Amino acid sequence: MTTSAWIIALLGAGLAGWVDAVIGGGGLLLIPILMAVAPQLSYATVLACNKVAGFSGTSSAAVLMVRKTRPPGSILARAIPLALVSSGVGAGLAGLVAKDTMRPIVFVLMVAVGLFVAFRPNFGVGQSRPWSEIPRRRHVLALCGVALIAFYDGIFGPGTGMFLIMVVTAVLSQDFVRSAALAKVVNASTNLGALIVFIIGGHVWWTLGLALAVANVGGALLGARTVLGGGVKLVRWALLIVVVIMAIYLSLQQVGVV
Q: Quote the pLDDT of residue 103.
A: 77
Q: Please state, in angstroms and rounded to a whole number, the distance separating the CA atoms of residues 191 and 109.
A: 22
Q: Residues 225-240: pLDDT tens digits?
A: 988 888 778 888 888 8
Nearest to 130 by CA among 215, 71, 193, 214: 71
How much is the pTM?
Answer: 0.81
Q: Quote the pLDDT of residue 55.
A: 92
Exposed e or buried b per residue across 127-145, where buried means at least 16 C-beta atoms within 10 angstroms of its C-beta:
ebeebeebeeeebeebbeb
Exposed e or buried b per residue across 213-230, where buried means at least 16 C-beta atoms within 10 angstroms of its C-beta:
bebbbbbbbebbbebbee
Q: Please state, in angstroms and rounded to a whole number, the distance separating the CA atoms of residues 6 and 104.
A: 35
Q: Are 201 and 41 in contact (CB under 8 A)?
A: no
Q: Note down pLDDT in tens along the chain; length 258 residues.
A: 899 999 999 999 999 899 888 877 787 788 889 988 998 988 888 888 988 998 999 999 999 998 888 888 888 899 999 999 998 888 777 667 766 777 788 888 888 888 888 888 888 887 788 888 899 999 999 999 999 999 988 777 777 888 898 899 999 999 888 888 888 899 899 888 888 888 988 989 999 999 999 999 999 999 889 888 887 788 888 888 878 887 887 787 777 766
SS3 content of the chain, % helix, strand, coil (to 5): 85, 0, 15
Q: Please state, in angstroms and rounded to a whole number, the distance separating the CA atoms of residues 183 and 110.
A: 17
Report helix, strand or coil for 100.
Answer: helix
Q: Quote the pLDDT of residue 95.
A: 63
**Amino acid at residue number 157:** G
Nearest to 164 by CA among 79, 61, 253: 79
Contacts of residue 172, defined as CB under 8 A and 6 or more positions apart, other chains included, come to: 129, 134, 138, 139, 142, 179
Number of C-beta neighbours around residue 62 at 10 A: 25
16, 138, 213, 232, 256 from 55: Cα distances, Å: 12, 28, 8, 24, 29
Q: Residues 108-165: pLDDT tens digits?
A: 888 888 888 888 888 888 778 888 889 999 999 999 999 999 998 877 777 788 889 8
Count of alpha carbons within 13 Å of 15, Cβ hemisphere only?
A: 11
Q: Quote the pLDDT of residue 132.
A: 83
Q: Please state, in angstroms and rounded to a whole number, the distance separating the CA atoms of residues 105 and 115.
A: 16
Q: Please state, in angstroms and rounded to a whole number, the distance separating the CA atoms of residues 229 and 223.
A: 10
Q: Within its chain, how far is the Cα of 56 from the centroid?
A: 12
